[in-house]
Amino acid sequence: MLKKIKVVKINILGQEYLVKTSANPIYFQKIADYVNSKTEEIITSGVDAKTQQLKIAVLSCLNITDELFSANKEHNKVLDKIKNESQLILESIDEKIK
């Protein structure tokens, strides 16, 4: 089943964007809210929101990407641990069967 494409209106750094997406509009708004929270962190650190919007956007992008990479690294660690423990369990079962 194909998902219907919708146009969602979001606001980031005071600028309105119309985005085509198949995602739930509420979910997409949560993404925009998260981006806005990250831009607000940069603004709060002292970067001028009126004259430094590109800088705010780039720094926010870097921070969000860092969070993504860190989460992926942690996810991969957990997967490796599960694989290793699963392998040990399988080896133990094989030994008991023999």
* Pair 53, 40: CB distance under 8 Å: no
Amino acid code (one letter) for 58 = V
Per-residue pLDDT tens digits of the chain, which is 98 residues long: 677 899 999 999 999 999 999 989 999 999 999 999 999 999 999 999 989 999 999 999 999 999 999 999 999 999 999 999 999 999 999 888 87
Query: pLDDT digits over 78-87, tens only?
Result: 999 999 999 9
Q: In this structure, how many other beta carbons lie within 10 angstroms of the beta carbon of residue 29?
A: 15
Tell me, yes or no, if the pTM score tops 0.85: no
Q: What is the 3-state secondary structure (H, E, C) of 69-98?
A: HHHHHHHHHHHHHHHHHHHHHHHHHHHHHC
Largest CA distance in the chain: 73
